[in-house]
Amino acid sequence: MKQKLNDLDVVSFEVGLEMTPEKYSEMSGVPLGVLRGWMDRGHIPTVKRGKYRLIDGARLVIEARIRVDEAMKKGGK
């Protein structure tokens, strides 16, 4: 069973949590191949740690909040 992201995961992201693509895929339900494609195209923020590329959770949350705010302004809400 796939676990969806919850409020605790978002709080963890805000303090700078980085995670492997495999873990993010498992938590979000997004297939790993799709996620890697998004990473390659720059749709998911990443950070390089040695030879590993990890999901940058803090930037992911910030970018999502910016997009929500922009959508709310366009929608007039």
- Residue 21 sits in a domain of what CATH number? 1.10.10
> Does residue 2 form part of some domain?
no
Local structure of residue 45 (DSSP, 8 states): -
Output the pLDDT for position 16.
56
Does the global pTM surpass 0.85? no
Nearest to 35 by CA among 66, 51, 61, 45: 45
**pLDDT number for residue 61:** 85
CB of 15 closer than 8 Å to CB of 58: yes
User: Residue 73 corresponds to which tokens in the numbers above?
Assistant: 């302004």
The type of residue at 74 is K
Residue 34 has what pLDDT? 97
| Per-residue pLDDT of the chain in tens (77 residues, 90 and over written 9) | 344 444 444 444 444 588 999 999 998 999 999 999 999 999 999 999 889 999 998 888 888 888 898 898 887 65
Give the domain range for residue 23. 7-75
Geometric angle at alpha carbon 21, from 6 and 64, rounded to 5°? 50
Residue 47 within any structural domain of the chain: yes
